Amino acid sequence: MQLLKDRIRADGKVLPGNILKVGSFLNHQMDIDLFNEIGREFARRFAGVPVSRILTIEASGIGIACIAAQYFRVPVVFAKKSKSKNVSGDTLVTSVKSYTHNATYEVVVAKEFILPGDSVLIIDDFLANGCALEGLVSLVEAAGAKVAGAGIVIEKGFQDGGRRLRERGIRVESLAIVERMTDSGEIDFR
């Protein structure tokens, strides 16, 4: 998606440790016009794929998933990073390691929101090592639902998460795949 690549080049910042900071438009401050184009592109890429729900993880994926859901006309479910008092009853739980935060979270979804037979499209902002996406896949599978695919805004192609998920047979559609980043701020795309 050229619009996204151009925006990453213009406003993204490369930080030490292969961190790509895109907070000015993607995961801190949100550019809704860009999100609308992202949602439209996910709808185009997954046209003809049955989708009954979109699943994401809090917090950065929620805005993207909500805009995309307008094109699919399905509800959005988000995995919470902690079980709160308003999540009661049977739950689906898995552990997810965050590359950016260097922390492990137990993520939770109430079973009533992912049902056996659902076809779930997973949407997230980043794919690096794939831990968050693998955790979301495991929640879908534990519910007896099917993973329709994964829509990723930015994939770090030089890390192995995307490759591992594709090898498992999961359709991963990434709108921008970063092949290389340098400390001087250069970003190359696949």
Q: Is the pLDDT of residue 77 over 90?
A: yes
Q: Give the pLDDT of residue 83.
A: 61
Q: Which of 52-56, 80-84, 145-149, 185-189 has the lowest mean pLDDT?
A: 80-84
Per-residue model confidence (pLDDT) at position 184:
86
Residue-level pLDDT at 97: 82
Mean pLDDT, the chain, as a whole number? 93
pLDDT at 105: 84
Tokens read off for 120: 């779930």
Query: What mean pLDDT is predicted for residues 67-87?
Result: 86
The SS3 call for residue 167 is helix
Question: In the chain, pLDDT over 90 holds for what percent of residues?
Answer: 82
Q: 42-51, 73-82, 85-94: which has the minimum mean pLDDT?
A: 85-94
Which runs of consecutive H residues, i.e. helices, occur in 112-167? 131-142, 161-167
Can you read off the two tokens belonging to residue 154? 């930015």
Question: φ, ψ for residue 22 (rounded to 5)?
Answer: -130, 30
Residue 120 clears pLDDT 60, i.e. is over it: yes
DSSP character for 27?
Answer: I
DSSP readout, 14-34? EETTTEEE-IIIIISS--HHH
152 C-beta neighbours (distance < 10 Å), count: 28
- Does CATH place domain 2-189 in 3.40.50.2020? yes
pLDDT tens digits, 126-154 = 999 999 999 999 999 999 999 999 999 99
Mean per-residue pLDDT, 78-90: 74
User: How high is the pLDDT of residue 127?
Assistant: 95
Q: Where residue 85 falls among pLDDT bands split at 50, 70, 90?
A: low
pLDDT at residue 99 tops 70? no
